[in-house]
Amino acid sequence: PGSLTRVEVSRFADGEVGIKILDNVREKSVFVIQGTSPPVNDNLMQLLLMCDALRRASVRRIFAVLPYYGYARQDRKTRPRVPISASLVAKLMESSGIDRVISVDLHAGQIQGFFSCPFDNLYGSIVMRDYFLSEDFQNDDIVVVSPDAGGVERADKFRSYLASRGINSNFAVMNKFRLRANEVDRMEL
């Protein structure tokens, strides 16, 4: 049976994060649940340091459970002189000692290819399925909307699942016109 391991997270005067594993984890398989949501850099650094500390404490395996994968939107080179940050983060995670990654609804499935260790991408839509099947929707009541072109495949899979259960739905895609990253000028449906 598993148990929670106590961890001490502290800050040094210069802002650095300190991590100390308070329990014996030798030869254990450890699941680290740590999202890399805002503040992204702080949470990512805590994850990396925690995994490094666990590896140095002689754990058998480290499974990183990431409800959100920070830097996922930077998954390709979109113009000159920019990094592929999602790839760099993958390398950092593996170098910290992570043996397997479990995440939810990656921005792009290709991120799994940045890792040499096993990567499980879980789908949040599975949670929504039961709700849609339990409600008495009329066929014209449901519109499955992709928030952008990158989500079309995922949204279409959900719509196909509903159709396989006899629930017809409409489909729409949002088209975002960006001024720059995180700044949308306008959207069209």
- Residues 136 and 71: their CA atoms lie apart, in Å, by 39
Let me know if 176 is a catalytic residue. Answer: yes
- Residues 18 and 174: their CA atoms lie apart, in Å, by 43
- Residues 86 and 69: their CA atoms lie apart, in Å, by 9
CA distance readout (Å), 162 to 42, 92, 131, 133 = 39, 39, 11, 8
- Residues 149 and 71: their CA atoms lie apart, in Å, by 18
- Residues 177 and 189: their CA atoms lie apart, in Å, by 12
Question: 20, 77, 91, 176: which is the annotated catalytic residue?
Answer: 176
* Residues identified as active-site: 176
